[in-house]
Amino acid sequence: TGIKTPVGIKLMGPDLETLSAVGEEIEGLLSTLPGTASVYSERVVGGKYVDIRIRREDAARFGLTVADVQDIVRSAIGGMNVTQTVEGLERYPVNVRYPRELRNDIETLRRIAVPTPMGHTVPLASVADIEFTKGPPAIKSENARRTAWIFVDLDTSDVGGYVKRAQEAVRKHIVFPEGVSIKWSGQFEYMERAAKRLLLVGPLTLALIFLFLYLHFRNLVETAMVMLTLPFALVGGVWLLWLLDFNQSVAVDVGFIALAGLAAETGVVMLVYLDETYERWKAEGRLRRLSDLAQIVTEGAVERVRPKLMTVATTLIGLLPVMWGTETGVRMMKRIAAPMVGGLISSTILTLVILPALYLLWKRAVLRRSLPA
């Protein structure tokens, strides 16, 4: 985008003076907006130039060409490399030009001696008009339109919320002249692009999780049970974000996507143990009544709590140092880890308490006609 601040504004229009005036209005408006650390609108007009216009007829009268006069002006004001100095193995160019106090004085510039082909010299004022003029310090363009930039630095991490407030304030208080348009840019533009990609990545992740679960269980009911852990994981992640006062961001979204896989893993571990226990009882001929299902679920869920907790604990132990870290870059990593930590805690409660109950209800409904109570 060319703008290094978190938020930038690009004003585009046909007239630089109009863009400068609108930019200063926006600068004053945003400087009072909460969350603004500093705001600066580029001054696209007001630059000062030494304007030297060569009078061709007068120059020709002395036998001079435009190039002859420009060479003298360039060497006097811009400087010219006349030789080199050798310092050991290094060479440095020697540039000669008028000192600053003379270059900034119009009268001195008018007295610059311009040699003629006849061997005489004439003052520069005899062949050129010299004056100070105002103009744009630089001209930026984008999509073939003149552009002025506004740089906004923030003292808040909620970039998205700040931009919404700023857009609303600009919409209410700034009247844009005809032909002038505004574009919000800066690092915020990268965040918008990433958010749009995440709108595709998020549903795709859930679809892939559902597909892989179904390929494993070959059963829609068990697949749905595992998918049920995802909303509970989301609740825990949101609670922890609220407790830590973290705003929604791309890093937080990445953390929730990673959380979806971890939450599904804990649900799969529970159902695998329940299915294993159910199949073993069935193979041993111990499953004779519907009431036996309660014992199966108890054995599969309660008696093997330790390996399930270890599965979750190893992940949490790996993430906790990130939550308490203070090194460079850990600020972003905290926002990735926070949803994962909070979500794992809430999804584990669901996995240990609710999934076994759902499994029991499902198996009772399936075996109700084939087994006595």
Kindly list the structural domains of the chain, giving each domain's residue range(s) and its CATH number in brackets, ordered by start.
7-44+138-185 (3.30.70.1440), 47-135 (3.30.2090.10), 194-367 (1.20.1640.10)
Round the CA-based radius of gyration of the chain to a whole number and report it: 37
Backbone angles phi, psi at 193, to 5 degrees: -65, -45
Identify the pLDDT of residue 373: 64
CA 109 to chain centre: 50
CA dihedral 281, 286, 292, 293 (to 10 degrees): 20
pLDDT tens string 133-146: 887 777 888 887 88
Most confident of 157-166, 302-311, 326-335, 341-350: 341-350
Residue 72 has pLDDT above 70, yes or no: yes
Residue 46 has pLDDT above 80, yes or no: no
Q: What band does 274 get if pLDDT is binned at 50, 70 and 90? A: confident
For the stretch 218-227, contacts whose Cβ atoms lie closer than 8 Å and that sit 24 or more positions apart, written own/partner, are: 221/362, 222/271, 222/275, 225/267, 225/271, 225/355, 225/358, 225/359, 225/362, 226/264, 226/267, 226/268, 226/271, 227/264
CA nearest to 249, candidates 315, 312, 187, 168: 187
**Residue 161 identity:** G
Identify the pLDDT of residue 91: 92
Question: What are 81's two structure tokens?
Answer: 């490399």
Question: What are 86's two structure tokens?
Answer: 């050798």
Q: Is the dihedral of CA 251, 256, 261, 263 positive or negative?
A: positive
Share of the chain above pLDDT 90, in %: 6
CB neighbour burial string for 137-158, b if at least 16 within 10 angstroms, e if fewer: eeebeeeebbbbbbbbebeebb
176 contacts 190 by C-beta, under 8 angstroms: no
Q: CA-CA distance, 14 to 23, in Å (whole number)?
A: 14
**Residue 362 identity:** W
Mean pLDDT (whole number) for 152-178: 85
78 contacts 112 by C-beta, under 8 angstroms: no
282 contacts 317 by C-beta, under 8 angstroms: no
pTM of full prediction above 0.85: no
CB neighbour burial string for 39-64, b if at least 16 within 10 angstroms, e if fewer: bebbebbeeeeeebebeeebbeebeb
- For all residues of the chain together, what is the average pLDDT? 84
Which has the higher per-residue pLDDT, 246 or 122?
122
363 contacts 352 by C-beta, under 8 angstroms: no
DSSP 285: T
Q: CA-CA distance, 4 to 135, in Å (whole number)?
A: 26
Q: What band does 1 get if pLDDT is binned at 50, 70 and 90? A: low
pLDDT tens string 319-363: 888 888 777 667 778 888 888 888 888 888 888 888 888 888 888
